[in-house]
Amino acid sequence: MVEKYWDNVPGKLSYISVGRDGAVWGTNSLKEVYRRTGVTKALVAGSDWEKIDGVGYSITVCTTGMIIHVGSDYNLYYRTGQTDEEFVGKSWAGLDGGDKFKWVGCGKNGWFVAIKEDGYAYGRMGVTTLVPQGTGWYKLPFPAKMDSVSIGEDGDVWGAYPNKERKVVRTTTFNDKEFIYGKSFEYI
């Protein structure tokens, strides 16, 4: 039997996201962006926090390694210049749209979903290996305004209502443009 427990890691974050390879990124109450260094299979807690340029709120690490965050101006930004040797990347670039966002979540194949200030969820279309930031937005047919969202490894989109009392999951996701973000939902 494997014992599982929590280790206290120094630092205080308001938002945190962990990628498939163990990359840990987060933002604190001052809207500063941090990345956990020294994370390995043997040292899963890592060794230190590295401050990264930029300021913002919600942050997500995609399974592809791309990092996206809601900036302090409520626009979405993604990290550019990332390579296998330079995982941190070089700078932030803005996503098109001009809309204001309050939350972003990323999952399977780099697909990501963002919650606009009005509370409605939008999925990013046109996400490919060559264009990881995607090309446009698709309003998700969730039944109500959402507070936060996350995408599971299986592609299911999970959302939480502002009152935190009800959760909803978007199911039946497919890897094509028509059904990339699902076609039905269930209350949990």
pLDDT string in tens for the chain (188-residue length): 456 677 788 889 999 988 767 789 999 999 999 999 988 888 888 899 999 999 988 999 887 888 999 999 999 999 988 877 777 888 999 987 678 999 898 877 777 888 898 888 888 888 887 888 888 888 877 767 778 877 777 677 777 777 666 666 555 454 444 445 555 566 66
Q: Is 148 in contact with 131 (CB distance < 8 Å)?
A: no
The region that residue 130 occupies, defined by phi over 0 for left and psi between -120 and 50 for alpha, beta otherwise, is alpha
Question: Which position has the token pair 């939902």?
Answer: 185
Pairing of strands 167-171, 184-187: antiparallel
Provide the pLDDT for residue 111. 79
Phi, psi of 110 (to 5 degrees): 80, 5
Provide the pLDDT for residue 53. 93
Provide the pLDDT for residue 175. 47
Extract the tokens encoding 79.
């990290």
Provide the pLDDT for residue 68. 92
Provide the pLDDT for residue 170. 59
Separation of first and last alpha carbons in the chain? 30
Provide the pLDDT for residue 174. 44
Provide the pLDDT for residue 177. 45
DSSP classification of residue 95: P
Provide the pLDDT for residue 97. 67
CA atoms within 13 A on the CB side of 27: 22
**Three-class SS state of 36:** strand
For the chain, how many helices (H) and strands (E)? 0, 15
Q: How many CB atoms lie within 10 A of CB 108?
A: 19
In terms of Cα–Cα distance, which of 71, 53, 66 is closest to 15?
71
How remote is the C-alpha of 74 from its chain's centroid?
A: 14
What CATH code would you report for 15-143?
2.130.10.10
50, with CB counted inside 10 A (0-12, 13-18, 19+), is middle
